Structure 1
């Protein structure tokens, strides 16, 4: 390491200011700039939350990529609750990345699942920061142990995809620190990822790439000394970003060089600001260059597939089972639903992998010589269009003829994709109608949901069984086959709550609004189960829930002491876990902590530990946890520090947030300093969180009390003059704006057809993206002059704008 530090110092001392600034923006869409004459290699990057997506062209976007193994989505990986599997998956993807000469994997995603509607929920782990952070840490270690760098993203509070480049997440500091930053903190401290990617959106009025608060926490408090990189096209002001502690803009952008160089010459940017970023970049480039010299591990496609299958089987969640599962292979199975033939195995957008192999349920049945009768049930492309009655009638007849019936439903790709949020939590109408008709003739049907996020499940309690299969990757059908026939005992547990209805969720009133693009996180820390339990809102399936073909008993819980008196102290917790069946299986043991009568507002209980345990039939094992100061801490917004409040606490152990087997009380007595904050008069609802008949309601004035100052609301600018921070959609009230939208729609439609992707994704990317981002994201198709021409047209200067665009004068 000293050799690398010396090389970095020598480069910084010898490089010109021009050479240094050129390092701060990508040389192309997927590579940084290198200086081979100075032994500074370029860094090659690729997307990869659930498989390597190294694009063949050098253009940003969703172009064709090299074949790779498609692993389960992070939503399913989180449902394994198994850090060893997370590390195993990271290593497997890392091996393929290295084989493709990729230095940096742009994964994993660490945003909290604030709403079920987020278009990228399949790329994120959980609604809980501890589970998210631990799984991400293990994934990062797996990737980096094989010589490839990992990137945690999108830092931070990026919980929606609608208007993601323009939105403003307004989050009180307690929620920010306890919920939205906590997972990143765990990952940074436990795994030191090579890169941290900032978010597109503003956080409390300031873009993530230049947010001094966020970057100070990352750099100064957590001690992160790696590279901070922008999301693609996500840099607002490179000068402000460098001052805040940001390092690299991606993809390549000539404007950054000019703006930074001019700011340096004017004295607005110091040499140390530039050198700090250069030091981070050059250090990483040299380290990765050394890793590149190491021998590559040969990619064993069969082994990679088996890893993907293992994760899929361990992460599928058996939500309910009225004794119909497991099936027997002695009887024929009725298989209904086009997803059995054309499975949803991955999400859409930048994580979309060119899969080497995918096994559907039907292909898995064929390979296993399992007898079945198949019916489409619905049209997989045009589900809710046209006359589908013949498909429905055929499916009903198949269900009548079989005791064992499996129904494959879920969310089509167009329902959940990067860049767009869902409008509701419902399945397509044709899927819901199919389930309703089938259970009329066969109440023992098994419903399997293939989706990247949770959905409303109006059939629960009225069918034989329900499995949440998520997006299970290459071995989707193979893994599901093993689970439904009992070759693998299901052991997935939900990493997110499944509510009955969207209106039950705490955030549904407070998402990005179309008028102002501000998302006020008025629910504060009450996200997911933290809200449902405090507000006594019933849910379809609670956080942490998951059934098995085995049964388990947790008992004889012990604490090493009943009083916590010193912040440096620890308390040992143990519980005996018994498999009370004769079937070997896994169970996820979960530990929660809650204060009984807190002065500051708190959830009833919060996850503070978990372990996945494998037990043979009749076997008993002692599972141990450690409670330390973090187990009892909350963020004190006045003192700006983690604090512990004295009082009586309950320690819970169970197999979900709702299914508690054991609990014990202890007393915390360390002398509550600083004094806990009591908002019970000015903002009483946070101390007694509760919904009204139509959901949670918290007014802006009450939210402002806990926020602590005026809310940093950013108004939407829909009147001239527009700026480079304006998207085309904001000019739609003017005829010139409508003309641009019409032209862009035509181009986006053609591109979507060419690249076989969803038109809405391209359209949103074109008309909802600020003009400043069109230059780097266009891959050279648009230069600065042409973007200025679009701005002129938006501002009503049609002739000047048209002349600028047509002449195509190039940037200097």
Structure 2
């Protein structure tokens, strides 16, 4: 690599530090460096094209993975991500996201693991190990305090030095030290007045203290300056090239003028070349690892992972598990029962090859002997839903889908293709670079009577006609550089249509030539006028069933990158649906298909509640496995679920005058709930299974600077089971401010019915440390209390742990691997 670096002049070195396109780095054939492809990957690897003809495996969202608390499983999921990346020609996966779930209002909550830094770090490190075992780089993001979406490009996050190091940097540190991550993404926001692409935190503690030797890449369009970012620890500015990129010739000039030292440029190139060597993009250097691990078969692993993250919040024992030999009529209700939300919105979105919904999964599992009836009950109406392949056909050939044509400056057709639906996106596509307009046409087959919303969402000039009616004819604009992709403006008109009617939709979209790509949503929303009839029908179906399973949730739009949530309630009339069904059927089971916590005002009125999160493409099969008792509901909450919006521990995501103060300090998540003395709906760590457990006893043993807690538990139920044992520390008489308690470790135990088992919990010395400004991590000697239990509020076992005063020759402790 040093020889390769020596061959490059300044201009060629600087050229390598900006992307060659939206997803690609620049190549340098003279030194054997090819382009590297970077792509979004928190819950599936999209690849360079967002195209239903090149689908991607849709994984459970990161919160669902963290709900498993199972690092071995998550590492195997990482190998699946690596296989998907290799299949799609991707060298660098842009994930995991380990920002903390500071507030349930955060729009990107589902894309993060947990409110707790320990759990986030351990789960994130496991995913990184799995991805990189396949010869693909993982990218931990977004460094740091990028915990909400409101004013995300410019917000200045302020917090104490202790909260920054002890809480918000802790998961990143674990993933660098224990995960050995090869890349890190610098966030959009500022911390303490400095934008993260120029932050000194990119050097200290990242490189100087943690030993990170990988590449630092900007979030897309996050590089703000030539000199500030050039002197800082940022290595690669993405995307590029383009008029808004501050490097290139400007950085060359800054080096020539002495405003940026050339050694800073050399270090950046070294980090890029090291990444290239690791993923096999640099000739003459064997990649790491030389023989990538084979990817597992997707369907079985995705089904296992989805089930492992499902959390059983409540169970009265009257409805579950379902017994196909005894139950004969099951109602499957709700807006997400047939068409679930398998993923959140934004850069985590992929197009899966298929989706198994709860209705299909239960029908397959229960078999023909059980009558399964379905009713929507309540519709969710937010943004305009894209027209589907089943709803439209090509006006010319009659084939299912939309006919899309790309037009050149003189109006000639450069290319045309048949597309499967109305959500279309092109980034770095050569045909878009040549075209000036796109036309899409399809014949809509109307399914029901009533007023339909027909329209378009996107950025640019749009003209949409439905038969002879012009629905949209205007320029749609946004000042958000990614707004045209994530949450574009939309326009629509309402047309009264009849079931069986055919309407020809014709859309023309004109776009700017200098854009890296374009896209739009051609959407049709069916009537909302039948809501009362829908609700009454669902209640009637529930009354006639032995068990009613109601699948409700949020949407890809309400849980999405680009904006925070405005409330925590289930959208539409879903709460009313649950209450009305529970009134007529005592065996009502609610399945929450949401990526983030929602309010559950009816939680004491139903027989059971499960959280399925955004569970990926195998949702229905995994849910059926759990509901029928074939597998345990493996999940435990990685985040506290509030009871009310105005609970004192529910934190805001709204900046004031561009500044967001983290006044909670180190008291985030379950720590904040304990400090406030507030009772949530369900606490951090909570979850039930198909058997019951008691905690018999605990003894502790020193293990170097660490401790081992030997915990004995008994399976008191009549089924074999798997149990999550959680360990927390407290020290109420501490001389420094501390949380009421904090998570120190966790592990799983398995046992047959009426059987005891003993497992060892590793309590690292790091768990006793606090951050002291000017000194770094410090350990206060003395007696701590170790608490063992099933959640942050249910800790039946306690034992003292005494941390000795360190001798003068003691080596400072480091985070446990």
Which residue is 1:490 aligned to? 633
Q: Deviations over 1:704-725 (max 9, x none)?
A: xxxxxxxxxxxxxxxxxxxxxx
Matches within 5 A, 1:676-755: none
Instruction: Tell me whether 1:55 sits opposite 2:44 in the alignment.
Output: no
Residues of 1 paired with 2:681 and 2:362: CA distance? 31
Contact kept, 8 Å, 1:636 with 1:642, in 2: the verdict is: yes
Which residue is 2:717 aligned to? 581
Which residue is 2:313 aligned to? 319
Q: Go from structure 1 to structure 2 and tell me whether the alpha carbon gap of 1:220 and 1:32 turns closer, same or farther (over 3 Å shift).
A: same
Partner SS, residue 82 of structure 2: helix
Partner SS, residue 574 of structure 1: strand
Contact kept, 8 Å, 2:727 with 2:787, in 1: the verdict is: yes
Contact kept, 8 Å, 2:380 with 2:572, in 1: the verdict is: no
> 10, 31, 54: which one pairs with 1:17?
10
Contact kept, 8 Å, 2:226 with 2:254, in 1: the verdict is: no
Q: Deviations over 1:115-158 (max 9, x none)?
A: 00111111100000000000000000000001111000000001
Matches within 5 A, 1:612-691: 612-637=748-773, 639-670=774-805
Residues of 1 paired with 2:46 and 2:565: CA distance? 24
Deviation at 1:585, TM superposition (A): 1.3
Which residue is 1:405 aligned to? 548
> 229, 251, 261: which one pairs with 1:260?
251
Which residue is 2:277 aligned to? 286
Partner SS, residue 502 of structure 1: coil
> 13, 24, 33: which one pairs with 2:26?
33
Residues of 1 paired with 2:555 and 2:648: CA distance? 23
Q: Deviations over 1:509-537 (max 9, x none)?
A: 4x333x51211000111111101112210
Residues of 2 paired with 1:507 and 1:483: CA distance? 31
Which residue is 1:374 aligned to? 374
Deviation at 1:632, TM superposition (A): 0.8
Deviation at 1:384, TM superposition (A): 11
Q: Go from structure 1 to structure 2 and tell me whether the alpha carbon gap of 1:213 and 1:380 turns closer, same or farther (over 3 Å shift).
A: closer
Structure 1, gaps ≥5 residues long: 1-7, 57-61, 674-812
Instruction: Tell me whether 1:270 sits opposite 2:261 in the alignment.
Output: yes
Q: Go from structure 1 to structure 2 and tell me whether the alpha carbon gap of 1:572 and 1:508 turns closer, same or farther (over 3 Å shift).
A: closer
Instruction: Tell me whether 1:69 sits opposite 2:57 in the alignment.
Output: yes
> 336, 339, 343: which one pairs with 1:339?
336
Q: Go from structure 1 to structure 2 and tell me whether the alpha carbon gap of 1:292 and 1:636 turns closer, same or farther (over 3 Å shift).
A: closer
Instruction: Tell me whether 1:44 sits opposite 2:41 in the alignment.
Output: no
Residues of 1 paired with 2:527 and 2:169: CA distance? 40
TM-score by length of 2: 0.77
Partner SS, residue 18 of structure 1: helix
- Which structure is higher in strand share? 2
Deviation at 1:65, TM superposition (A): 7.8
Q: Go from structure 1 to structure 2 and tell me whether the alpha carbon gap of 1:376 and 1:666 turns closer, same or farther (over 3 Å shift).
A: same
Which residue is 1:360 aligned to? 357
Which residue is 1:758 aligned to? none
CA RMSD of aligned residues (A): 2.0
Contact kept, 8 Å, 2:135 with 2:289, in 1: the verdict is: no
Which residue is 2:452 aligned to? none
> 612, 634, 643: which one pairs with 1:469?
612
Residues of 2 paired with 1:570 and 1:367: CA distance? 50
Structure 2, gaps ≥5 residues long: 281-285, 383-525, 809-817
Residues of 1 paired with 2:321 and 2:216: CA distance? 48
Matches within 5 A, 1:590-609: 590-609=726-745
Which residue is 2:458 aligned to? none
Partner SS, residue 758 of structure 2: strand
Partner SS, residue 339 of structure 1: coil
Deviation at 1:588, TM superposition (A): 0.7
Contact kept, 8 Å, 1:507 with 1:523, in 2: the verdict is: no
Contact kept, 8 Å, 1:99 with 1:299, in 2: the verdict is: no
Q: Go from structure 1 to structure 2 and tell me whether the alpha carbon gap of 1:484 and 1:228 turns closer, same or farther (over 3 Å shift).
A: same
Residues of 2 paired with 1:336 and 1:612: CA distance? 34
Partner SS, residue 21 of structure 2: coil
Which residue is 2:71 aligned to? 83
Residues of 1 paired with 2:778 and 2:295: CA distance? 48
Which residue is 1:309 aligned to? 303
Instruction: Tell me whether 1:528 sits opposite 2:664 in the alignment.
Output: no
Instruction: Tell me whether 1:481 sits opposite 2:624 in the alignment.
Output: yes
Residues of 1 paired with 2:290 and 2:172: CA distance? 30
Matches within 5 A, 1:476-555: 476-506=619-649, 508-509=651-652, 511-513=653-655, 516-555=657-696
Residues of 2 paired with 1:392 and 1:500: CA distance? 25
Which residue is 2:147 aligned to? 159
Contact kept, 8 Å, 1:167 with 1:512, in 2: the verdict is: no
Residues of 2 paired with 1:215 and 1:660: CA distance? 40
Partner SS, residue 68 of structure 1: coil
Q: Which moved more, 1:375-384 or 1:128-137?
A: 375-384
Contact kept, 8 Å, 2:649 with 2:678, in 1: the verdict is: no
> 80, 87, 94: which one pairs with 1:99?
87
Residues of 2 paired with 1:628 and 1:402: CA distance? 52
Matches within 5 A, 1:201-216: 201-216=189-204
Partner SS, residue 216 of structure 1: coil
Residues of 2 paired with 1:193 and 1:582: CA distance? 43
Deviation at 1:293, TM superposition (A): 11
Contact kept, 8 Å, 2:357 with 2:620, in 1: the verdict is: yes
Residues of 1 paired with 2:140 and 2:201: CA distance? 18
- Which structure is higher in helix share? 1
> 572, 582, 588: which one pairs with 1:439?
582
Instruction: Tell me whether 1:168 sits opposite 2:156 in the alignment.
Output: yes
Instruction: Tell me whether 1:241 sits opposite 2:384 in the alignment.
Output: no
> 409, 421, 426: which one pairs with 2:564?
421
Q: Deviations over 1:647-666 (max 9, x none)?
A: 43100111111111210013
Q: Go from structure 1 to structure 2 and tell me whether the alpha carbon gap of 1:171 and 1:507 turns closer, same or farther (over 3 Å shift).
A: farther
Residues of 2 paired with 1:63 and 1:505: CA distance? 44
Which residue is 2:100 aligned to? 112
Q: Deviations over 1:464-515 (max 9, x none)?
A: 0100110110111111111111111212100000011222153534x333x5
Q: Go from structure 1 to structure 2 and tell me whether the alpha carbon gap of 1:95 and 1:505 turns closer, same or farther (over 3 Å shift).
A: farther
Q: Go from structure 1 to structure 2 and tell me whether the alpha carbon gap of 1:64 and 1:155 turns closer, same or farther (over 3 Å shift).
A: farther
Contact kept, 8 Å, 2:378 with 2:572, in 1: the verdict is: no
Deviation at 1:667, TM superposition (A): 3.1
Residues of 1 paired with 2:224 and 2:803: CA distance? 46
Which residue is 2:122 aligned to? 134
Q: Go from structure 1 to structure 2 and tell me whether the alpha carbon gap of 1:208 and 1:360 turns closer, same or farther (over 3 Å shift).
A: same
Contact kept, 8 Å, 1:507 with 1:522, in 2: the verdict is: no
Deviation at 1:297, TM superposition (A): 7.4
Residues of 1 paired with 2:59 and 2:557: CA distance? 20
Q: Deviations over 1:286-323 (max 9, x none)?
A: 221244996777767xx201100001111100000011
Q: Go from structure 1 to structure 2 and tell me whether the alpha carbon gap of 1:672 and 1:120 turns closer, same or farther (over 3 Å shift).
A: farther
Q: Go from structure 1 to structure 2 and tell me whether the alpha carbon gap of 1:507 and 1:522 turns closer, same or farther (over 3 Å shift).
A: farther
Which residue is 2:532 aligned to? 389
Partner SS, residue 179 of structure 1: helix
Residues of 1 paired with 2:205 and 2:291: CA distance? 37
Deviation at 1:39, TM superposition (A): 0.9
Which residue is 1:748 aligned to? none
